[in-house]
Amino acid sequence: MNTGKQQKPVLTGQRFKTRKRDEKEKFEPTVFRDTIVAGLNDAGGDLEAVAKFLDTTGSRLDYRRYADTLFDILIAGSMLAPGGTRIDEGDKTKVTAFCVFTTEESHAALRLYAQVFNKLIRRYKYLEKAFEEEIKKVNTELLFLSGGAVFKVLTPLNCFILFNLISTLAYSAITKSIRSIKSIPPGSPSKQNVEHFSKYFNEAGLKELSDFLHVQQSLGTRKELQRELQERLSQQCPIREMVVYVKEEMKRNELQEQAVIGLLWTCLMNAVEWNKKEELVTEQALKHLKHYAPLLAVFSTQGQSELVLLLKIQEYCYDNIHFMKSFSKIVVLFYKADVLSEEAILKWYKDAHAAKGKSVFLEQMKKFVEWLQNAEEGNNHEFFYFLFIITS
């Protein structure tokens, strides 16, 4: 009897060693910095060489881990401390003169730098988020610590602002940085802050950024208005109260009627869980919109506002397939409720419609438009209205 322990089978075979050149090199931040700085210095002012260096070096340097360091160097020329100051200011071997802040302050020069960033982020898509965070960090320091010790060694604010303006990626980054700023005094109205910085940028010859800030403020205002309207609709707030609220917001934020009418349409259509059956959704929609037609009528007093609403209806019915056959009935309902005028409908039909579902919606509206064009004073409008509803 064999009392020895049975040996377990052992897998045999050749063990392959990973080549060192196939392994991604591991670097500490300082070593990573030295490599990037040396590469930028070797490339000198040749930005094509810089772009090529960054592209090839990313295969062995850990850009994902040290993205902050990478962008610190590309923008400011060296690693930055949390407060925004250069860590190795006294050591010229750890600082490069070839960065955004030391380049010529012109659109042409900065456009070339923008191309370097765009190429880098297209090649390493994961860097996009890190880039936005870097812009947010540097923006905050530049916008709110002027006059202090921060970035005194760098060129003026104009350089960085121009870079933001010409880099597509930086638009979203600067927006986030402006919204995330913590140094705004508590209780200060955002409009006053925007006006303050708008004046500052205009005086610095940066009208484009001033305009951009106003656009972003308007977008933020509209989003806030939309959230509030959605809440009021969910609570079935009386239409009269909603009209008062919207008018006050328009006056306070200098909003145009064209912007408000489109926003109201979106809110009204988002306020309902629509039936999935095409034959039932039209009836549901007409009942809902008939109730809120007086709200829309208050903010569609201009021809341009009516066209905006018509285009919104067209877009919605096209994007939501169950509403494809509802378009003409919604338009006629709004005509009857004095939300849309004859002139606006004819203008839309002739040349102001969008391409989405064009052939379908024009065909739906054909009979009603023919009646509008041929109707004379004294005709029985009610008769033609109901005739259209029955036959369409």
Mean pLDDT by 10 residues, the chain (392 residues): 55 49 56 90 89 90 88 83 66 81 69 80 84 65 41 37 40 42 39 60 62 63 84 91 91 85 92 86 93 94 93 94 92 94 94 91 92 66 51 45
317 near 381, Cβ under 8 Å?
no
Identity at 159, one-letter amino acid code: C
Q: Last residue of some domain: 132, 153, 182?
A: 182
119 near 51, Cβ under 8 Å?
yes
Lookup: tokens for 135: 């812009």
Cβ-based neighbour number of residue 193 at 10 Å: 16
Q: What is the pLDDT of residue 327?
A: 94
For residue 86, the cross-strand partners are 80
Question: Domain limits at 144?
Answer: 23-182
Q: Are residues 274 and 178 in the same domain?
A: no
In a domain, 157, yes or no: yes
Q: Are residues 172 and 46 in the same domain?
A: yes
Q: What is the pLDDT of residue 218?
A: 64
In a domain, 96, yes or no: yes
Q: Are residues 178 and 284 in the same domain?
A: no
Buried b (16+ CB within 10 A) or exposed e, 148-173: eebbeebeebbbbbbbbbbbebbeeb
Q: What is the pLDDT of residue 167?
A: 41
334 near 340, Cβ under 8 Å?
yes
Q: Are residues 30 and 171 in the same domain?
A: yes
Q: What is the pLDDT of residue 155?
A: 37
In a domain, 42, yes or no: yes
Torsion angle defined by CA atoms of residues 359, 362, 363 and 366, in that order, rounded to the nearest 10 degrees: -160
In whole angstroms, give the CA distance from residue 26 to residue 18.
15
Q: Are residues 153 and 300 in the same domain?
A: no
In a domain, 234, yes or no: no
275 near 284, Cβ under 8 Å?
yes
Q: What is the pLDDT of residue 266?
A: 92
Q: What is the pLDDT of residue 360?
A: 94
Q: Last residue of some domain: 182, 200, 215?
A: 182
Return the residue matching tokens 């409720």: 337
Cβ-based neighbour number of residue 73 at 10 Å: 24
In a domain, 74, yes or no: yes
CA 337 to the chain's CA centroid: 35
Q: What is the pLDDT of residue 106?
A: 64
Q: Are residues 174 and 320 in the same domain?
A: no
Q: What is the pLDDT of residue 225?
A: 85
Lookup: tokens for 6: 């049975």
Q: Considering its fold, how many domains does the chain have in total?
A: 2
Cβ-based neighbour number of residue 197 at 10 Å: 16
In a domain, 71, yes or no: yes
Q: Are residues 58 and 178 in the same domain?
A: yes
Q: Last residue of some domain: 182, 212, 230?
A: 182
Instruction: List, for residues 324-335, the tens digit of each pLDDT value.
Output: 999 999 999 999
213 near 194, Cβ under 8 Å?
yes
Q: What is the pLDDT of residue 59?
A: 85
Q: Are residues 174 and 322 in the same domain?
A: no
CATH code: domain of residue 358: 1.25.40.180
pTM, entire model: 0.52
103 near 46, Cβ under 8 Å?
no
In a domain, 93, yes or no: yes
In a domain, 225, yes or no: no
